[in-house]
């Protein structure tokens, strides 16, 4: 009996002397904590996956834009991109076009402020074309007659390139990101290979400089969407303003080229009723739209309402169904410095051999197979999907939705 009591006491002392972590109750508590942690991790991982998927599913875009403001096609397209939950806007690069690059940069910065997206960098780009200049344009007009049409920043009454004016409410507080637009474009594409869509709605000077600096970014780009040119051939400001840049970009082997020409944007025109739809939604931009469209009286010789070229190009990036019809074309720009310098040149494969009038060049009539083998595009060009017909209602609904978010 005495030995038994002593044995029990020795066992009890041994049990009490054990470290806490080895006691049965503590070990059970640890297992319970591990189970709870595993349960929380099991619940958290799917939520994290959904969040990551939502972020990665956003379309990465660089906007290269002659962002004239405070209203109009250039500026409104930037607002659409800045407000869209479907777009990861990596940056805005500015270029001269409708206005010089200095005021265009001011308005691009203001766009980031009024959309509360100052996290999006604005990088100033080219002020002048690669070769063209106001003086050269004047000399051509002396030789071939005045060009009666929109010259953008080459307008005869345009202010000096350095002149800027404040947007409504004053100059933006945010500043441009240091550096050059062309470097930013090249570096960003390399940082996100095969993911970046270039949205180009001004003269193509920055893009031409970027692919001159780093030609290898061309195949690393997901797609290039270009507002410019004419599906019928002829002049259009963006390509006419810097013809050499447009030719360089169109001749580069991009994985996908989508062109929204003058004639596509001509089918959609801004108007008071469309802007009232945005105001009545009471979204983040309702007050802006009300102020600059519905309450503003335009200067003499101008109108608030314009073709929605750039807005259409943006809408087609995330909703291709706004384009009811596209055609494959090979587009180039006349850079011969003659009377059609800067005009769009179009090559489109014919549907079939045309019917010829008699007498024919030989006694047997046309050889269809030889004619068909003759229909080959210029070897230095690449096919582009050119937007031809617009679903106007769908576009207007998309525009109102994007401007009301």
The domain spans of the chain are 60-350+371-403
Q: Would you say 108 and 174 are in contact if contact means Cβ atoms under 8 Å apart? A: no
Going by the DSSP 8-state scheme, the letter that residue 260 receives in this structure is: E
Which of 119-131 are b and which e, b meaning 16 or more Cβ less than 10 Å from the residue's Cβ? ebbbbbbbbbbbe
CB 268 within 8 A of CB 392: yes
- Planar angle of CA 68, 74, 80, nearest 5 degrees: 130
Distance CA 227, CA 324 (A): 17
Residue with tokens 């509360």: 116
Residue 280, SS3?
helix
Helix, strand, coil: what percent of the chain each, to 5?
45, 15, 40
Length of the chain, in residues: 405
Determine whether domain 60-350+371-403 maps to CATH 3.90.245.10: yes
Burial grade of 251 (CB within 10 A; 0-12, 13-18, 19 or more): middle
Q: H or E stretch including 325? A: strand 323-333
Q: Order of strands, edge to edge, in the sheet holding 122-124?
A: 122-124, 87-94, 59-65, 196-200, 223-227, 257-260, 383-390, 323-333, 344-347
The answer to whether 210 touches 182, Cβ cutoff 8 Å, is: yes
Q: Give me the pLDDT at residue 147, please.
A: 79
- Do residues 81 and 61 make contact, with C-beta atoms less than 8 angstroms apart? yes
**In the structure encoding, which two tokens stand for residue 300, read together?**
């003499």
Sequential DSSP letters for 96-163? -SSS-HHHHHHHHHHHHHHTT-TTS-EEE--SS-SS--HHHHHHHHHHH----S--GGGSTTPPPTT-
pLDDT of residue 15: 44
Q: Which residues of 68-104 are buried (b: 16+ CB within 10 A; e: fewer)?
A: bbbbbbbbbbbbbbbbbeebbbbbbbbbbbbbbbbbb
- The whole-number pLDDT of residue 57 equals 87
CA dihedral 168, 289, 177, 245 (to 10 degrees): -110
Q: What is the pLDDT along the chain (405 residues), one digit of tens a residue?
A: 444 434 434 444 444 444 433 333 444 454 454 555 555 445 554 544 444 444 558 999 999 999 999 999 999 999 999 999 999 999 999 999 999 999 999 999 999 999 999 999 999 999 999 999 999 999 999 999 987 688 999 999 999 999 999 999 999 999 999 999 999 999 999 999 999 999 999 999 999 999 999 999 999 999 999 999 999 999 999 999 999 999 999 999 999 999 999 999 999 999 999 999 999 999 999 999 999 999 999 999 999 999 999 999 999 999 999 999 999 999 999 999 999 999 999 999 998 999 999 999 999 999 999 998 899 999 999 999 999 999 999 999 999 999 998
Q: How many whole angstroms separate alpha carbon 140 and alpha carbon 146? A: 8
Closest by CA to 312, choosing from 255, 269, 254, 257, is: 269
Q: How far apart are CA 193 and CA 218, in angstroms?
A: 10
Are 188 and 312 within 8 A, CB to CB? Answer: no
Residues 164 and 167: their CA atoms lie apart, in Å, by 9
d(CA 256, CA 253): 8
Q: Tell me 234's DSSP state.
A: B
């Amino acid at each position: 009996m005495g030995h038994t009591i002593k044995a029990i006491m020795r066992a009890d002392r041994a049990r009490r002397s054990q470290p806490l972590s080895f006691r049965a109750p503590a070990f059970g508590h640890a297992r319970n904590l591990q189970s709870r942690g595993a349960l929380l991790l099991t619940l958290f991982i799917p939520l994290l996956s959904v969040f990551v998927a939502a972020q990665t599913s956003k379309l990465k875009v660089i906007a290269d834009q002659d962002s004239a403001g405070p209203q109009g096609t250039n500026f409104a397209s930037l607002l659409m991109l800045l407000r869209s939950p479907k777009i990861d806007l990596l940056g805005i690069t500015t270029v001269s076009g409708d206005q010089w690059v200095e005021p265009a940069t001011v308005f691009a910065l203001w766009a980031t402020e009024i959309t509360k997206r100052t996290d999006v960098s604005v990088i100033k780009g080219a002020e002048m074309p690669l070769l063209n200049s106001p003086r050269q344009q004047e000399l051509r007009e002396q030789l071939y007659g005045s060009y009666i049409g929109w010259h953008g920043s080459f307008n005869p009454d345009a202010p000096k390139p350095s002149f800027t004016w404040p947007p409504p409410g004053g100059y933006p507080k945010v500043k441009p990101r240091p550096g050059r637009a062309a470097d930013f474009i090249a570096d960003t594409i390399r940082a996100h290979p095969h993911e970046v869509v270039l949205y180009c709605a001004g003269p193509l000077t920055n893009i031409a400089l970027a692919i001159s600096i780093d030609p290898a970014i061309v195949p690393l780009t997901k797609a290039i969407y270009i507002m410019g040119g004419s599906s019928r051939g002829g002049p259009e400001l963006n390509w006419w303003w810097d013809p050499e840049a447009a030719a360089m970009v169109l001749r580069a082997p991009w994985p996908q080229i989508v062109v929204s020409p003058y004639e596509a944007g001509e089918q959609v025109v801004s108007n008071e009723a469309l802007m009232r739809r945005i105001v009545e939604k009471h979204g983040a931009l309702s007050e802006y739209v009300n102020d600059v469209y519905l309450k503003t009286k335009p200067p003499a010789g101008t109108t608030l309402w314009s073709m929605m070229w750039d807005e259409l190009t943006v809408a087609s990036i995330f909703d291709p169904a706004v384009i009811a019809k596209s055609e494959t074309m090979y587009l180039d720009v006349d850079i011969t410095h003659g009377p059609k310098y800067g005009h769009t040149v179009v090559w489109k494969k014919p549907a079939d051999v045309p019917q010829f009038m008699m007498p024919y060049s030989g006694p047997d009539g046309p050889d269809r197979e030889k004619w068909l083998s003759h229909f080959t595009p210029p070897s230095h060009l690449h096919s582009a999907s050119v937007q031809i017909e617009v679903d106007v209602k769908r576009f207007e609904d998309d525009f109102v939705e994007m401007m009301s978010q």
